A and B are shown apart, each in its own frame.
Chain A
Amino acid sequence: MARGALPAPAALAAKTAPIVDSRLLGRIALLGAAASGYAVILTPLLFVCWLSFFSNEIVSFPPQGYTLRWFAHIFDQNNFVSGFITSLQVGIVAMVGGLVLGVPASLMLARRRFPGREALNTLLVLPLVVPGVVAGTAIYVFQIEVEIATTLPLLGSLAGLALAHIMITIPWTVRLLTASLVGFDRSIEEAALNLGATPLRAFVQVTLPVIKPGVVAAALFGFIASFGNLEMTLFLVAPGQTTLPIAILQYLQWRIDPTIAAVSLLQIVLIGGGMLITDRYVKLTRVL
């Protein structure tokens, strides 16, 4: 056939063969790297999930059997329930507070050129970089000073805790909102103004809906950052007051039964589910 008419297919194959080999090698290397990346991330998660169903009192291999009683056990622990409620309350306040502060800050950073812009940009990411213990100590001291000066009962109050948590949501909200504002076509805001919208209406009816994926992502990550925070929170809770991460830590000091794994699994399901549901309405992949 036509193939046989080609002058020297063997010579051609010999020439191209090494190239194909190195490509294949590259593909295998890439796959290997991706697989080990996934393994590092997923192995601990899978183990936690598995462990939560072990029937052993003390976590050990191999499992003697499987049970769901640890999940029931969570709800017998007052600490877990009240810790979850506190974490939820603080997380929601921090999320909203982070957005209220983050939106105007991002608008300035994304749209205005002013001296110190770069410095401000870096400063707002700082809560992510400063160790939680350091931030916790600093805020602890600061809140004591404020309390002495104003006699407001700040330290140990839910408000004091929420204020501190707003700080740790800021790097997330500002980053995610700035990213979605940078690609924003300003002429559509001008179109709204031209059609009779005041700047506020243009922002609410045009800008916000268009950057909605960024806002939702900012809210979600702000909440997660607050919900999972342990180190800083340890310094700021009142005696007897707990958040969920603190309740887990306290439980771990005395017992190592699979209840902890069950709590973690619930937390993973809760946050993972939240992300999946959100993603159905707003394409988070567009901003993340």
Chain B
Amino acid sequence: MARLQLSALTKMYGDVRAVADVDLDIREGELVVLLGPSGCGKTTTLRMIAGFVAPTSGAIRVAGQDVTRQPPWKRNTGLVFQSYALFPHLSVAENVAFGLRMRKRPEQQVVAKLEDVLRLVRLQGLANRLPRELSGGQQQRVALARALVIEPDILLLDEPLSNLDAKLRQEVRVEIRELQRKLGLTTVMVTHDQEEALTMADRLVVMSNGKVQQVGSQRDLYENPANTFVAGFVGRTNFVRGHVEAPGLFRSETGLGIRCHHGADAKCRMLSLRPERLSLSMAPVAGAENCFPGTVEFASYLGGILEYYVRLTPQDRLMVQSPNSFADPAYAIGDRIHLHWPAQAGLVLADDGGSTS
């Protein structure tokens, strides 16, 4: 385990900036998730840390030591590949022992460590199997064991769960996270799955177009997104285009005057409203900071929550999520209702073009 620092890390492919000026300081034992859509530069960043991609500029430091120009085999990182990349001709035991053999550890030590790590990932009985004789979940654990056994300074996870089915994914998520905590491994994980990111991360890094959009905790990203990209990518939200008319008042392009708390910045032209912060009622709500009449256009019953699309004006349709409680009635398509929310639910954000999602 070690501290990992990326400073002004940049990778150009011709004129394309795959990764631009990434600065990150990752504490010992911290799990940081790089989150973003495909092509955002997260995988390139991970591959630069592993040494497979040479940065165009910038530096990578592990435990204070500059490793930017070191080849992959001299860096002590353990990478778990998306495809697992197990050696198909070697048994589970030989796959896991590969890194120790490369390090020329004495046979006695190899055997002992092998036993420990196989127990850790619950693969004791399968040491002599070939990878193709294992299930997807077992292969994934072999890949993890192979990366852990070398006691890497940095553990790198490249979409480690994307090849598992949904149910298994939830279990393995928790398993990996607990293991990582127990071993105190500094870890960088790449994913495009926000639920996975939110479950596992100490800290998240949202990336888009090669740039870091925001770094923060789950709560930071959700409650205080830096821009419309982050607001749209982490969780779901409604966007209303317009401008700040006066402090605390946002005027939509369609003429709605919406009370909100944030923003006096003239550049910020987008209001974000999280669907679960909006409420429905049959009658107008007296004293509500925002209350508009509307019509339910679409209703979905999702078990724990009810989801509605509510038409306010010919151009404005908002998504609303209500808890499925006994207190709230269920509304039907065509119901004429009132939509209300407190001023603090409205966040005025800079529009970076990510608001279409």
Contacts and interface: CB of A to CB of B under 8 A. Distances in A.
Interface stretch (A48-56, A183-191, A256-264): A183-191
A187 B85 contact: yes
B338 interface: no
A208 to B, nearest CB: 10
Contact of B87 (A192, A198, A212): A192
Interface string B279-296: 000000000000000000
Contacts of A197: 73, 98, 102
A12 to B, nearest CB: 42
Contacts of A195: 73, 78, 98-99, 102, 146, 150
Contacts of B86: 188, 191
B19 to A, nearest CB: 18
Contacts of B88: 188, 210
B87 A194 contact: no
Nearest to A187: B85
Contact of B98 (A190, A192, A210, A212): A192
Interface residues of B, number: 23
Interface in B137-162: 146-147, 150
A101 interface: no
Contact of A193 (B72, B103, B147, B150): B72
Which of A185, A187, A192, A194: most chain B Cβ within 10 A?
A194
Interface in B73-87: 73, 77-79, 81, 83, 85-87
Interface string B37-78: 000000000000011100000000000000000011100011
B102 A191 contact: no
Interface in A169-216: 185, 187-188, 190-199, 201, 206, 209-210, 212
A37 B52 CA distance: 51
B167 interface: no
A210 B89 contact: yes
Nearest to A194: B79
B103 A196 contact: yes
B262 to A, nearest CB: 45
9 smallest beta-carbon distances between A and B, as pairs: A196-B102, A195-B99, A187-B85, A191-B85, A193-B72, A209-B89, A194-B79, A188-B85, A187-B81
Interface of B: 50-52, 71-73, 77-79, 81, 83, 85-89, 98-99, 102-103, 146-147, 150
Given A188-B88, A190-B81, A194-B72, 12 more contacts: A187-B81, A188-B85, A190-B79, A193-B52, A194-B79, A195-B78, A195-B99, A195-B102, A196-B99, A196-B103, A210-B87, A210-B89
18 contacts: A188-B87, A190-B50, A190-B52, A190-B72, A191-B86, A191-B146, A192-B98, A193-B52, A193-B72, A193-B73, A194-B72, A194-B77, A195-B102, A195-B150, A196-B150, A197-B102, A206-B87, A210-B88
